[in-house]
Chains A and B, each alone.
Chain A
Amino acid sequence: MAAATRNLQNSPELAQSAIPSNAAFMDTASTPATQKFLLRIFIDKFQKWHHRSTYHEIVERARDEGIAGASVLQGMEGFGQNGRVLQKHFWLPSNEEMIVEIIDDEHKLRSFLESIEPILKDAVVTLQPMRVIRYFAEGKKHIA
């Protein structure tokens, strides 16, 4: 009985789920070193999903899924999927592009991207490997 409990505790699935996702982020035992991925979503600022900005919805969903972190950057001009130039004019409601940047493990980002596919319209998404060398969370510093 005791042995069975110990085995359960040692099972990687259980260990993974027991640790909050932020603490697991730099856990070298569960992920190959510090190799993370950067997902960037280029999307129109005024695109909506159920009365909420799509970029906002993406960030909320990323948080709900335990993704390590997301940032939104505001562009001032650009063109995207449909080729029209989006330019900011001070006298008109502006059409600007937003960039949502998300960093986490490759498999997490790929499954996250798949899960948000239905809400992505006229978006360009890039995915690239990157190294995370420092991660500060919950008062702790993780150094790679």
Chain B
Amino acid sequence: MRSVAVKGEVLRIFVSESQRHNGQPLYHVIVDRAREAQLYGATVLKPTLGFGTHRVLHTNLAFEVSLDMPILIEIIGTETAIDAFLPMLDDIITEGIVTREHVEVFRYHSEDSN
């Protein structure tokens, strides 16, 4: 079942896999916090190659062992929800890149979940 299209935003957070917050992987903490907030969804993606603020090339090729892979977290929500989420993000991210952009959001529910 489709909901009405709403104006929303997509937040993309680029951090590294090794970053931690209170002993837990940072990306995992971000997804947990996003779920507690009034956001529509979050997805963690693992790129195969990349570089970040340190300009060190990260790779997942077995012969070039790298333990510090980049991680991309995409979060979708309303502008208000993202605004409310950002201060928390500022508290737990010490290094990384965050982008946000406007999108139209459509949400679909299966009949049994509503």
Chain B 26-66: CB-based contact to A (< 8 A → 1; otherwise 0): 01100110110000111111100000000000000000000
Also in contact, A125 and B44, with CB within 8 A (given A79-B34, A85-B35): no
User: How distant is the Cα of A79 from the Cα of B74 in the complex, in angstroms?
Assistant: 11
Residues of chain B lying within 8 A (CB to CB) of residue A40 = 103
Interface residues of A in 114-137 (CB under 8 A from B): 117, 120-128
Chain A interface size, as a band, is: 20 to 34
B110 is an interface residue with CB less than 8 A from chain A: yes
Which residue of the partner chain, among A42, A85, A125, contacts B32 with CB atoms under 8 Å?
Answer: A85
Closest to B71 in A: A76
CB–CB B108/A78 < 8 A = no
Summed over the interface, the residue pairs from A and B with CB atoms below 8 Å come to a total of 86
CB-based contact A79/B35 at 8 Å: yes
B108 and A125 within 8 A (CB): yes
Q: Judging by beta carbons under 8 Å apart, are B106 and A42 in contact?
A: no
**Contact status A121-B108, CB under 8 Å:** yes
Do B108 and A120 touch across chains, with their CB atoms under 8 A apart?
yes
A24 to chain B, nearest CB (A): 24
Q: In this assembly, does A2 line the interface, its C-beta being within 8 Å of a C-beta of chain B?
A: no
Please count how many residues in chain B sit with their CB below 8 Å of the partner chain's CB atoms: 30
B110 pairs with A122, CB closer than 8 A: yes
Given A120-B108, A121-B109, A125-B108, the answer on whether A80 and B41 have CB atoms closer than 8 Å is yes
Taking a contact as CB atoms closer than 8 A, the residue among B2, B102, B108 that contacts A128 in the complex is B102
A11 interface hit (Cβ, 8 Å)? no
B105: Cβ under 8 A from any A Cβ = yes
Q: Which residues of B contact A (CB under 8 A)?
A: 2, 5, 8, 10, 27-28, 31-32, 34-35, 40-46, 74, 76, 101-110, 113
13 more A-B contacts (CB under 8 A) besides A77-B31, A117-B108? A74-B45, A78-B42, A78-B43, A79-B41, A81-B40, A81-B107, A83-B35, A113-B106, A120-B108, A122-B110, A124-B41, A126-B76, A126-B103
A-B contact pairs, 12 of them (CB 8 A): A42-B41, A75-B44, A75-B45, A79-B41, A99-B43, A122-B109, A122-B110, A123-B107, A124-B40, A125-B106, A125-B108, A127-B5
